[in-house]
Structure formats: structure tokens, C-alpha cells
Structure 1
Amino acid sequence: MTQSATLDTLDRRLIHALQIDGRASFSRIAGVLGAPERTVIRRYHRLRSALVVRVVGLVDSRRIGKLDWFVRIDCAPDAADAVTAALVQRSDTSWIAPLVGGTRLTCMVRTPIEGSDGGRPLFDHLLRTQGVRDVEASCVLRPVAGVGGWAGRTRALEASEQTALLDPAPEPPDDLEAARAEAGWGEAEERLAGELALDGRADIAQLATVTGWSASTVRRRIAALRAAGVLHFEVDVDPSHFGFPLEALLWLEVSPAALAEVTQALSRNTAVTFAAVTTGRASVFAMVQCRDTSALYDFLADELAALPGIGRVESALIQRRAKRAGPLLLPPVPQRPGERGPGRAQGR
């Protein structure tokens, strides 16, 4: 998402509505927003065509037997761009970002959980990659903030409007094995998830073609996966469009006794776009969005300093996001008759 755009009130209300239900019909969204349906449709397609906003379908790794890792890679100065480009093409990576300084980059990686190796083959491959000097991987034990959407983009709708967009649904089961067994996960579900990662609002006919299911089966499977907590939808949008251009990564060393209090505070803080408890030297990792460096200082010196049990804090500024939650999309290009829609993923 590299193009600039100014978001007006209707854009922000539309983005908030999509965060509540990424697959809600435009007619339903228009009714809640009090805008003509054609206007809402035009706004969405304008923002998506400009690669400013898109809805992506995301899968909870734990519920399909996989692990998420936050990985820090130290590169030789002339290798960082090539390593970043290679990681961008992989289907098992997300949130790729070179850090300010030029030799370090970070990303999220998904690996199988089966066996004792975990993500070792990938990490060994990285260490053998020319120009990579060191790899540090921390396993995500539990996300604690940002899973339901960053608060910076979820302030545009009144409570009654948010309620009108919500469908009553059962709470996800606590037993992950039971949830996975109930929802089921196979090759067709993998193809479904891959297509929804490209476009969370892909139409049912397109999804039926990809999976080989009937339209009614596609609807039923999406509903079951969402109810089981396996599948959810996120709005992928650069926070700079909301006036928060500075993104920082934080690694917090937190004593076990203070983990609950610290993570609860992070989950309520509007500056935190994502946070998780992880393995490694720092037990808590967080992404923070700020208006400028002064705001980041205030967050560190005031809000974090007021929390108990935090020892060492390491911070780094992101130079740019090479990839966010979903697969990287190419800018739209003129199409010939019979070609598919704009913005296909690189490497697919």
C-alpha cells in the first residue's frame, strides 16, 4: 500500500464497518452508514484500486496446527534489500519491515507445529542465505492486542451502528483441538484461505471455483470457520492515512508476575496496533503507531513507565512496510477481455 490518499469521514466510517464484518454486504453497510449503496461501492473500489484499503482473510495459526514466529534478521548492508524481496514472495511470511539503519529487518513467519523441528528448516535456510549474519526467532505464545483491529481505525462508528453490523455468533471454543475438529481443515480450506488472503471480499462464485465446492458449501464453510475462531477478517490499511506515520517495534522484558497486568494495559492502549507474549529474551513484543517521535517518547516515558514488572525495553523504528497482513499485491494494470481483476499477489 504505497499510494497516498486522504480519508474523509465516509471513508473512515466505511473502513470501521469493514473491520467489524469484512464480508458484510454493501447494502447492509450503506444502510448503517446512511449513504447510497452506489456511493459506498464506489468508495470501496476507489480505495482498493489505489492499494490504500483491502479486506484480508486471516487464519488463526494455533487452530490449524501451526506456529507464528516473530523473526529478526541481521544482514550485511548490501544484502538487506535482496533478503526482504525474497521473504516478500513467500506465502508463509507477513509484516515484513526493514528497520531504520539498513541492516536489520523483521517479519512474521508461519511454520508447521508437528514434530520437534518447528520452523527449523526455514530458519536454517535463512542462516545459509548469502548476506544473512544472524537470525533470532521468538514463538508467539498468545496475541494480546490488535487481533480485532487497531483502535485508530475503529472510532468512526457509534455503538449503535457497530451493533447493527454484528451478527450474533457463538463464542469460539476454548478447546483448540475441538475447534479444529469441528471446523475441519484440508486442502480445499487452504485454497479458500489463500484466496481470501488476497481479497477477503472475493465473491462466492470465485471461491467456489477455487475450492471446487458448491456456492452453498462455500457459505457454510466460511460461517463454520468464523464461528470456530479459525478464520477472521482484517482491514489492511497503512496507519499513516489516519495521521500516524511513525511505527515502532518494542521488545519488553516483563516479569511473569506482571504479564497479565502489562498485556491488559497494552490491549487497551490506542497506540498499540499489535502485541503478543513470546518466547525469547523479551517476553512481550508490541507494534506501536505514533504521530511523531515526541508521541513515542511520551508512550515510553509515561505509559510504559507506569506499568509494573517491565525491566529492559528495546525499541526500533520501521523504515517501511514491505508486506503487511496479506500477500503483496501488484498495482492495478490495464486488462484485456477475459483477464481477472486487479491486484494479484506477487509470486502467485
Structure 2
Amino acid sequence: MKKERQKPSPGRRRPPPRSRRLDAVDRRLIELLQKDGRISHTELARRIGISEATVRSRLQRLIREEILQVVAVSNPLKLGFGVVGSLRLHVEPRHLERILRELEAIPSLWHIVQTTAGCAVDAEFVLKSLEDLRALLCERIARIEGVRRTETTLFLNYVKRRYDWGTALD
């Protein structure tokens, strides 16, 4: 008899691959990259006192285990995106997993999180115009079965944006 694979319960996402404990070298790599994401492997190796090959293998593992992501962070308001903000979606619990998958497929939603606020999902968006916002809300989000209500907040200005929070093990 074939054993059936259990589906995750509603509201549960699959965890990233299990990672081993971060050591002092991992934490130092993360700290240096949070300050300068363009720092070379050679410079990282020099500052930490390890080989460049060790830097490369450590970074590959941190990226593979979804502990670290090295990207360029831009300011969407200065790139011509006139409408930047967030949505709070109040959803029916039994539809949560499907709703999360549908939201993931919307390119203008760049950050999606499940929250502790009842059965709510928060998402941040970057759009060029109010017409694009209307289309997102009325043509995409409103048509997702199980979304009870949405609240939209527009960002006027970035007052503080930091990415150098270190690690929880500091």
C-alpha cells in the first residue's frame, strides 16, 4: 500500500533547507556583506583571515540555505515608480495557502508575509501609476477567492531603510 504524502496544513509554508549553526566566520561574512554587497571575495578573505575558496564555499552554502541573498537594493521612488505601498489582505483561513500562491505569481508584489494579525497577509508593491494600482486591486486581488477585505497604504517617502541588522546570534 502506497503511503500518501501529507500536505502542509493551511497557513504553513515549507521551511527552507535546514541549516547548520552559524559560526563566527559566517556571521562576519554576513556583517561585511550587509555593509558592502559588492565587496570582493578576495577582500572578504583578507578581512576575515581565511582563504578565498573558503569564502566562496561559505557564501554558496549561506545562499543555498536561504540565510543570505546578495542583491542591489534600489529606491523605487527614485526609479520612476510613482506608486509604492503595502496591502493588508484579510483572508479566509481555508484558502490561505492557495491565496499565498496566487499572490506570489503577481510580479508587482515584491514582498509577501503571513502575519499574526488574525488570518492576514501583508504585501508590498511597486507600481508606475495609480491606474496600475487600480488594476492590481480591482482586476487581480479582488478576483482571488477567499480574500475578504484589503487595506492599502501608499508610501510617501522612505525615512529609514537599513539592511545591516547583523544576525540574531550577535
Fold match by TM threshold 0.5: yes
Tell me how many residue pairs correspond in the alignment.
153
Say if 1:243 and 1:107 are closer, same or farther in 2 by CA, change over 3 A. Answer: farther
TM-score (norm 2): 0.79
Question: Is there any run of 5+ residues in structure 1 with no aligned partner, and where?
Answer: 154-238, 245-348
The 5 Å alignment of 1:210-225 reads none
Query: Structure 2 CA distance, aligned partners of 1:140 and 1:81?
Result: 27
2:169 and 2:145 map into 1 onto residues whose CA distance is: 38
SS in 2 for 1:53: coil
**Identical amino acids, percent of aligned pairs:** 25
Hey, what's the Cα distance between the residues in 2 that align with 1:53 and 1:39? 16
2:156 to 133, 137, 141: 141
Deviation at 1:11, TM superposition (A): 0.5
Q: Residue in 1 aligned with 2:86?
A: 70
The 5 Å alignment of 1:95-110 reads 95-100=111-116, 103-110=119-126
- Alignment equivalent of 2:36, drawn from 9, 21, 27: 21
User: Which runs of 5 or more structure 2 residues have no equivalent in the other structure?
Assistant: 1-14
1:7 equivalenced with 2:52 (yes/no): no
Q: Does 1:130 align with 2:166?
A: no
Listed one character per residue, the Cα deviations across residues 51-75 of structure 1 (whole Å, up to 9, x for unaligned) are 2212122331111211221110011
Counterpart residue type for residue 56 of structure 2: I
Deviation above 4 Å: which 4+ runs of structure 1? none
Give, as a single letter, the amino acid of the residue that structure 2 aligns with 1:111: L
What letter is aligned with 2:46? Answer: G
Deviation at 1:33, TM superposition (A): 1.8
Matches of 2:75 and 2:157, distance apart in 1: 11
User: Residues 67-106 of structure 1, C-alpha deviation per residue, up to 9 Å, x if partnerless?
Assistant: 2211100112222221111112232223311223662111
Q: Say whether residues 1:111 and 2:98 are aligned partners.
A: no
Shift of the 129–65 alpha-carbon distance from structure 1 to 2, 3 Å rule, reads: same
Specify which structure has the higher proportion of strand.
1
Q: In the alignment, which residue of structure 2 is the partner of 1:91?
A: 107
Counterpart amino acid of 1:68? V
Give the number of the structure whose residues are more often helix, by fraction.
1
Q: Which AA in structure 2 matches 1:84?
A: L
Match of 1:206 in 2: none
Is the 8 Å Cα contact of residues 4 and 52 (structure 1) preserved in structure 2?
A: no
Give the alignment of 1:106-255 within 5 angstroms. Answer: 106-113=122-129, 116-124=130-138, 125-145=140-160, 147-151=161-165, 153=166, 242-243=168-169
Equivalent residue for 2:97, pick from 81, 87, 91: 81
TM-score, length basis structure 1 = 0.41
CA-atom RMSD, angstroms?
A: 2.1
Aligned pairs for 1:22-37 within 5 A: 22-37=37-52
1:42 correspondence with 2:77: no
Query: What whole-Å deviation, never above 9, does each CA across 1:127-175 have from its counterpart, x for those lacking one?
Result: 2321111111101112223x23143x1xxxxxxxxxxxxxxxxxxxxxx
Instruction: Please tell me whether the aligned partners of residues 34 and 164 of structure 2 are also in contact (alpha carbons under 8 angstroms).
Output: no
